[in-house]
DNA sequence: CGGAAGATCCACT
DNA sequence: GTGGATCTTCCGA
C-alpha cells in the first residue's frame, strides 16, 4: 500500500497523451473528501492529442474560457461539464500550449466504496461498473466537479499514485467514444482499457 | 442575443 | 438499441 500511494511525478505527465493514457491504466486516483480517503483504480482512458485532433477541445488551437487549463503543462486536472450535467476528469499532459490530455473514462473502487456509492445515490448490491464505469459516474463517485479544474495532480486532495503494475498484454485498444463529429479522427485507436475488466464502460473493447 | 451541440447516463423496449 | 433529460458553452449574427 505504501509504494502504491506514491504520487506519480511531473515527468510522468510531461509526455505525449497517448503514452500517458496507456501508462495510467492500473494507477490509483487518491481523492480526499474532508477526512475521508477514496481510492479508485484506473481501468479505462482516452488520449486527446490537442490542436491536431478534431475530437479535442483544443482542436485547431481553439481557446475558450472553459479550456484554458487544457493548455497548461502536465500535471494538472482539466475538469469540464458535458451535456449540462456530467463532469469529466482529465489529466493534462505534455508541455504548455499543446492542449494534450487524457480522459479518465472508468475506474474500479479500491477503498471507500461505501462513500462512493452514497455519492452515486446507490445502495445494496450493484452491478460492476455502476460506481465508476464511465467518466460521469467516476466523477460523481469521487465528488469531482469544476472546483477541481486546474488543481495539481501531484499533491492536494486529488492525486494520481503509482497503483499496481499492468503488462502490455492486458491492454485493449479501440476507437474513442462519443466523438462521431470528429471526421478523420473518429477511428483513431486512442481508447485504452484493461482487457476483460468488468468496470470498463460501454461499448466494450477486446 | 439566440440557437445548437455536446469526450454522458438512465430507463425503457 | 433508442430516445429523453438537462444546461453550460460556444459561435455566428
What's the pTM value of the predicted model, to 2 decimals? 0.95
Express each pLDDT in A131-186 by its tens digit. 999 999 999 999 999 999 999 999 999 999 999 999 999 999 999 999 999 999 99
63-122 on A, CB < 7 Å from strand B: 70, 82-86, 88, 90, 101, 103, 120
Confidence of residue A2 (pLDDT cuts 50, 70, 90): confident
Express each pLDDT in A11-47 by its tens digit. 999 999 999 999 999 999 999 999 999 999 999 999 9
Instruction: Report, in ranges, which bases of strand B sit under 7 Å from a protein C-beta.
Output: 5-10
C-beta of residue A92 within 8 angstroms of C-beta of residue A150: no
Q: Which residue in A153, A16, A15 sits closest to A75, CA to CA?
A: A153
A54 CB less than 7 Å from any atom of strand B: no
Confidence of residue A1 (pLDDT cuts 50, 70, 90): confident
Express each pLDDT in A48-81 by its tens digit. 999 999 999 999 999 999 999 999 998 999 999 9
Amino acid at each position: 500500500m505504501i509504494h502504491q500511494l506514491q504520487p506519480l511525478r511531473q515527468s510522468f505527465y510531461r509526455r505525449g497523451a497517448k503514452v500517458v493514457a496507456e501508462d495510467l491504466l492500473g494507477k490509483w486516483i487518491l481523492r480526499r473528501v474532508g477526512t475521508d480517503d477514496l481510492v479508485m483504480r484506473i481501468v479505462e482512458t482516452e488520449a486527446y492529442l490537442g490542436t491536431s485532433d478534431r475530437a479535442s477541445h483544443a482542436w485547431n488551437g481553439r481557446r475558450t474560457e472553459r479550456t484554458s487549463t487544457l493548455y497548461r503543462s502536465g500535471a494538472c486536472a482539466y475538469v469540464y461539464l458535458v451535456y449540462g450535467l456530467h463532469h469529466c476528469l482529465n489529466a493534462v499532459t505534455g508541455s504548455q500550449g499543446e492542449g494534450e490530455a487524457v480522459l479518465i473514462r472508468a475506474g474500479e473502487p479500491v477503498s471507500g466504496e461505501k462513500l462512493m456509492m452514497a455519492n452515486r445515490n446507490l445502495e445494496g448490491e450493484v452491478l460492476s461498473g455502476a460506481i465508476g464505469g464511465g467518466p460521469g459516474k467516476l466523477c460523481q463517485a469521487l465528488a469531482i466537479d469544476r472546483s477541481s479544474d486546474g488543481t495539481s495532480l501531484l499533491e492536494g486532495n486529488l492525486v494520481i499514485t503509482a497503483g499496481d503494475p499492468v503488462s502490455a498484454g492486458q491492454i485493449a485498444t479501440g476507437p474513442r467514444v462519443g466523438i462521431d463529429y470528429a471526421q478523420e479522427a473518429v477511428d483513431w485507436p486512442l481508447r485504452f482499457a484493461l482487457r476483460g475488466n468488468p468496470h470498463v464502460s460501454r461499448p466494450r473493447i477486446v
